[in-house]
Amino acid sequence: ATAIGMGGPGAIFWMWAIAFIGAATAYVESTLAQIYKEEKDTEYRGGPAFYIEKGMGQKWFAVIFAVAA
């Protein structure tokens, strides 16, 4: 309500646009996590650092991401 009051009805468009981008990002992250997960000792391990390392082949970037996160 505050966004519509301050920015007018155009704020609804930007809320939907950002929601669509956020949903697409969540979908891509979930898909990559399923593709690059690994089984170790009957448990699955994975996450962003895993698919950065396995998918892009750049371990240094995965380490920087893990430290920053």
pLDDT confidence of 49, banded at 50, 70, 90? confident
- Contacts of residues 44-47 at CB distance under 8 Å and 24 or more positions apart, as own/partner, are none
Is the model's pLDDT at 2 over the cut of 90? Answer: no
Percent of the chain with pLDDT over 70: 100
- Residue range 17-44, pLDDT digits in tens: 999 999 999 999 999 889 888 888 888 8
Q: DSSP letter for 41, please.
A: T
